[in-house]
Amino acid sequence: MTAIPRRDLLRGAALLGLASPLAACGSGGEPVGSKEAGPQGPVIAWMHHEEANDKYFNAKIAEYQRQFPKVTIKPLYVPIANLDTKLSTAFTTGSPPDLIKVGAWTLAERASKGQVAPLPPAEFGAGSLDELKSRFDTNAFAALTYKDQVYGVPIDFNSVHLWYRRDRFEQAGLDPDKPPATWEEVEEYGRKLTTGSQVGLQWQLADNIWAMLNFIPLINGLGGRIVDETSGRGGLNTPEGIQALEYYGRQGNPRLSDPVGAFGLFAKGTSAMLVSGRFTSSLIPELNPKAKLGETFDSAVVPSWAGKEKVASGYSWGWMVAKKAKNPYTAWHFVNWLSSSANVDQQLATTGLVTPTAGWQKLPSARDQASQQLEEQLAYTDFGPVLPQWTETIKALLDALESVIHKQRPARDAAAAFDAAVGRILK
């Protein structure tokens, strides 16, 4: 669904020749966009590197610049492990990019420091925030909201699934059309799938966000929580937390390695199961061209504990504009253009990333099984704690998980250490 009608976009472009050059210039003398001038001038955009998305984004930049020739989008693709550090340095020195693709889990920290600008409905042709929200799926902005203020437009909106290798299931005598539905079955299947250097379920290790995404379905599915955000207390040193930690530590083999971790191991068939998002449908064939969705590998809804309620974990990246952006109008205009139905459909088909505009599930590229599973799971998806101290808190979670899976500490000791660390972090 297009947030600004095409006639309004063209009207804005036509106004380019009517605006005062002085009024449409930034502090550096370069022209910048405005409601009166329309989109123009340079926009510096930073995002994490991902091959399929980089190619798609470069094509979209070229298309947008043909439509709005007075705009120059200047992208920078940063390795995902370096993006937050690079952004923090840019904000500290007062020279952030205009447009940023930010992991929503870091939003509370960015917003609490005044680094990102609130989402302006008027720049999207909407009379109110509620009107703008109505153009997107239910709860699409939940992960991009801090203290009742929305700060970005969602992209790569995801709920994690269970991905599994059909070929490995067949080799182990398991029905590839009947993936495990419970965590107990995942472990049972895993024993049959583990032989030599091959394993059943392999977690994505040594990564903050994946530590959270992997662990939420386990602990929340048992009725626990990683952190009680109201009291500021950790929740691992509980029966639910310890059971979840023990289960986590029994899966996979932490000594296995690949340049892209569990994703690469799954692509090669070393592991037979992976907890990951909708993007996996395009990522795995990139890593292994012989792997075909629906033939070599497939997806299922995230498992639940037997007899317990379903819980999935989710995340969102968001397009955000720096509070000190030099060309905010054009940056938001470009984001709005990216959110048109045609672009959302093309993005999903090309990259596997979902921009959750209203009705995205009915787009031609969303007719696949993984998209249907994503839609089903959103009703019970938890996006994790919203904390300015998210990085330190989830780093403590990662430390607990790593110490258990590497057999460095028993689950009970790791849980106690985590809760103590959270007490210091959130005091």
- What does the alpha-carbon distance between residue 291 and residue 281 come to, in Å, rounded to a whole number? 10
Length of the chain: 427
> Residue 367 is encoded by which pair of tokens?
């007719």
Q: Residues with Cβ < 8 Å from 403, sequence gap 6 or more?
A: 409, 414, 417
Residue 15, pLDDT score = 32
Task: List pLDDT tens digits, range 181-218.
Answer: 999 999 999 999 999 999 999 999 999 999 999 999 99
Kindly state the tokens that stand for 418.
């985590």
CB 99 within 8 A of CB 335: yes
Q: Whole-angstrom Cα distance, residue 84 to residue 48?
A: 9
CA distance 343 to 356: 12
- The pTM for the full model equals 0.84
Residue by residue, pLDDT tens for the chain (427 residues) are 334 333 343 333 333 333 333 345 555 568 899 999 999 999 999 999 988 899 999 999 999 999 999 999 999 999 988 999 999 999 999 999 999 999 999 999 999 999 999 999 999 999 999 999 999 998 899 999 999 999 999 998 999 999 999 999 999 999 999 999 999 999 999 999 999 999 999 999 999 999 999 999 999 999 999 999 889 999 999 999 999 999 999 999 999 999 999 999 999 999 999 999 988 998 999 999 999 999 999 999 999 999 999 999 999 999 999 999 999 999 999 999 999 999 999 999 999 899 999 999 999 999 999 999 999 998 899 999 989 999 999 999 999 999 999 999 999 999 999 999 999 999 8
Q: Are 7 and 15 in contact (CB under 8 A)?
A: no
Number of H helices, E strands in the chain: 16, 14
User: Cα 362 vs. chain centroid, distance in angstroms?
Assistant: 21
Decide: 3 and 132 in contact? Cβ < 8 Å. yes
Q: Which residue has the tokens 């505009």?
A: 357
Q: What is residue 14's predicted lDDT score, i.e. its pLDDT?
A: 34
Opening angle at CA 262, ends 351 and 299, nearest 5: 55
Q: Which residues contact 69 (CB under 8 A, 6 or more apart)?
A: none
pLDDT at 151: 97
Mean pLDDT of the chain: 92
Rounded to whole angstroms, the Cα distance separating 396 from 387 reads 14
Token pair listed for 205: 């290790």
Whether the CB-CB separation of 314 and 143 falls below 8 Å is answered with yes
pLDDT of residue 138: 83
- Using CA atoms, how far apart are residues 317 and 331, in angstroms rounded to an integer? 16
Domains of the chain, start order: 6-158+315-375 (3.40.190.10), 160-314+382-425 (3.40.190.10)
Helix 390-405 vs helix 239-250: crossing angle, to nearest 10: 60
Q: Which pLDDT value is given to residue 50?
A: 87
Residue 28 confidence (pLDDT)? 58
As a whole number of angstroms, the distance between CA 27 and CA 21 comes to 13
Instruction: Please say whether the beta carbons of 38 and 19 come within 8 A.
Output: yes
- Per residue in 54-75, is it b (16+ CB within 10 Å) or e — as a string? eebbeebbeebeeebebbbbeb
Residue 169's nearest CA partner among 187, 190, 148 is: 190
Q: Which two tokens stand for residue 211?
A: 């530590």
